[in-house]
Amino acid sequence: MIIKSPLHSPNLGRSTNYIQKHITINAVKFIFYKDGCYWLDVSYMGRNIIPNVEEITIKGFKKTFREIVKAKERSGITAILNNPPDLFERARLYGTKFKNNSWGWASNIWHRSASGSVVIERDADLKYEHKLLMLRVLEHILAQGPLIQVDAILGKPETKAEMKCRLYCDPQFPDIAYRWSQLCFPGKPEETPDVEIFCIPHYLGNPKIPGSSEMLRVLRFPDHNYSIITCSSYQGEVKKAFLSHWIYEIYKRGGMGEHAALKEFTVKRVDGSKKRIVMCIWALTGAGKSTHGLYVFDKQNAHIYEKYFGVNPLNYICDQALKNDDIIAIFKDCVIGSERSSWTKTEGIDEKQVAIWRAANSPRALHENTEFGPAGNPSFKGELFQYFGLLNRNARSVFFLVDTGYSNVDVASSGPLNVAIFVSPGYFTDYAWIKIEDIAFATKVLADGRTVGHPAQSRELAGLVRFVARYCLPFTIGVKPTAHIVRFYEFLKERKENGDPVEVYQLNTTGRIGTEYRWVKQNIDGEEIQVPEPIFELTPDGVRKPVGGTTPTVEETQLFLLQATRGAVEYEPHPIWGEKVSVPVKVEGIREERLKELNPFTYRSIDEMKKLLNAQTRLSKIYLSKQCPGLPDFINNAMDF
């Protein structure tokens, strides 16, 4: 509809040359003529809030979002629910209330959509499919009721790790917004956020990723400080979206954002002195980061060590403090956790894991895809719920760290990192535990991010050997993993040169020592190589289980770490890598026969081990060439022999 000024008729027949200018004010188009008259194009208000798909840009998406908000508010329509106090009440309408008064929800996808995620740094990289999904999100926001806005802080507030976050969540999913708010520190809604996330868990007719058969679900824009999530109500999408931006922000501030847990404790050394340990534990999802990062020695589990190892750990450890279990910021002088709470995989936990068990059974815990037991309480046994016909192996819980009984809410360390643990499970060449003496070798372990797949990563990859740079590839945006890896090497180098080296260990947790295997040909990006492949058997519930070998128990690994930090472990050089790596030959409390069972050379000859290690290093370099372009040769070749 056209509204004209009263002094003129639409039949004047003016040409476009007679038009002086167009002005759009609050989505209303004014056409001004040279004689001072104007036309008001009301139809512009409806048609042109959202641009055509070809005109969508990275900056333009947020601009259009704000125009949608303004258009609704001008019309008296509520566009945003600004940090509503009733999120929990909204979410309870469709949640499961357990008998212990905790609550749980189910998501439509039970793992992250890493394969459906794309990182875009500039408009030149925006393909039609990306723009189409951005268009569909804007169309949904325009048509949908008011979005839920939640403001929160990642990183300890008022420190160099603080990042202000703002979530816009579809109003049909208040549980996502509520649970995420409980993970983070209270926000500052009156201030401009550093990062914004738009979470629309609906299917929007999503296109495929360009050149792929994979559905496009997640768009990340690191240099424009926002991400878009669609088609998944899995809590991890929102959590990891913000943390991906936080990792990049920490890098820009001179630190290292790492996929690792953080805890502290004081040990009594073999010489009688006491040492405060600041320990970080790197691992990919499902490999044991939370199991070991949130592990504490307590009266409830100390008897196990006395019974099986003849050691009471409480005689050697005190002042245990859990700081974070997922993403941390490492600076030269300290380590800072990202969140005040934990979102932890609780499948398979029991009373021996005192801290996790206590917090996960708290009435304040917020569960996801967690089954119920016969008494109506949360159950972590993984014997009832199914996902694609298999028993669930990715139950999750949001719980407050203070509910573990070993946290004072301060997520910053009392000093710099001094013990680094890399959890790199494997099947062929790995000891249960090693100490890494060479800093280039240690950096290569981080660069490789070698692990064994878990259903929490992907259903298809469960049980298979993977290389995921820094254990953090899906969350690395803005700069390549290479930049983070080089900075970590420089950090280790400076500490060593200053006479205060970081102790570095590698653990084999969910892998096995002595697994049976066969040689197979693999084609990786056009290069055909021979690699070892574990021989699996399927359990009755469809889980791949490697044949042969042994795995260290959680208690054995924890005892090793305790004795290692006390200086109560004797080592010898690795039979192939020599002085670069030390292997344990005596651990106080662990029998010599058991150490032999946890030694891969018990099952393989040295020639066989050399062949296996050559295959492993060759395979790792193929992945590193893609994931870490430009990695310095002295790191890339650190495992050569």
Determine the pLDDT at residue 374: 97
pLDDT above 50 for 207? yes
**pLDDT tens digit string along 382-402?**
999 999 888 888 899 999 999
Q: 306-325 in b/e burial notation, b at 16+ Cβ within 10 A?
A: eeebebebeebbeebbbbbb
Give the containing element (helix H, strand E) for 437: none
Residue 566 neighbours by CB under 8 Å, 6+ apart? 267, 268, 269, 270, 316
pLDDT above 90 for 35? no
Q: Which band of pLDDT confidence, cut at 50, 70 and 90, is reported for residue 15?
A: very low
Q: Is 181 exposed, middle or buried (0-12, 13-18, 19+ CB in 10 A)?
A: buried
Structural domains of the chain sorted by starting position, each given as residue range(s) with its CATH number in brackets: 2-48 (no CATH), 67-252 (3.40.449.10), 256-336+411-513+551-609 (3.90.228.20), 340-399 (no CATH)
431 vs 443: CA distance, rounded Å: 18
Report percent pLDDT > 70 for the chain: 91
> 311 versus 41: which is more confidently predicted?
311
9-23, 136-150, 226-240, 624-638: segment of lowest average pLDDT: 9-23
Q: Which band of pLDDT confidence, cut at 50, 70 and 90, is reported for residue 524?
A: confident
Average pLDDT on 317-327 reads 97
Apex 198 CA angle, 346 and 283, nearest 5: 35
Q: Which band of pLDDT confidence, cut at 50, 70 and 90, is reported for residue 21?
A: low
110-114, 228-232, 479-483: segment of lowest average pLDDT: 110-114
**pLDDT tens digit string along 543-598?**
788 999 999 999 999 999 999 999 999 999 999 999 999 999 999 999 999 999 99
Q: Which band of pLDDT confidence, cut at 50, 70 and 90, is reported for residue 22?
A: low
Q: What is the DSSP letter of 432?
A: S
265 vs 109: CA distance, rounded Å: 37
Q: At what angle do helices 235-252 and 481-497 cross, to 10 degrees?
A: 60
pLDDT above 60 for 442? yes
Average pLDDT on 135-144 reads 98
> 404 versus 40: which is more confidently predicted?
404
pLDDT above 50 for 40? no
Determine the pLDDT at residue 7: 36
Average pLDDT on 352-360 reads 97
Hey, what are 69's tokens?
């908000």
224-228, 241-245, 472-476, 595-599: segment of lowest average pLDDT: 472-476
**pLDDT tens digit string along 247-292?**
999 999 999 999 999 999 999 999 999 999 999 999 998 888 999 9
Determine the pLDDT at residue 112: 79
> 23 versus 408: which is more confidently predicted?
408
551 vs 598: CA distance, rounded Å: 7
> 82 versus 525: which is more confidently predicted?
82
Determine the pLDDT at residue 30: 57
Total Cβ atoms within 10 A of residue 18: 12
Average pLDDT on 189-203 reads 98
Q: Which band of pLDDT confidence, cut at 50, 70 and 90, is reported for residue 31?
A: low
